[in-house]
Amino acid sequence: MIIGTGRICLRASWVHSLKEKRMIVQSLTTRVKNKFNVSIAEIENQDIHQTIVLGVACVSNEVRHANSVIQKVMDFIEGSTDAEVDDVFIEII
């Protein structure tokens, strides 16, 4: 069993409340879940309204497939939001 994980940090400088941030996070996570069938959640800085940190995980039987899925999810997130990407970390175990 191969587990692919990814962590992406986004900065949304135009967000001025936690309510706005929750709307963005909910929209992104729903679209990613529906498109890629992976687990995704906000994993850090829930109380900081301009910082979004999302964690993504998938289970596969091949390293190449897990890496491909996580990379496609990260590319999709980058292309689906106006937020700036601060950091991306991918790990396959």
Reported pTM = 0.90
Percent of the chain at pLDDT exceeding 70: 100
d(CA 15, CA 39): 25
Closest CA to 10 of 81, 90, 69: 81
Q: Given a cut of 90, is residue 8 above it in pLDDT?
A: yes
Q: What is the mean pLDDT of the chain?
A: 93
- Taking domain 2-92, whether its CATH number is 3.30.70.1120 is answered by yes
pLDDT at 77: 94
Residue spans of the domains in the chain: they are 2-92
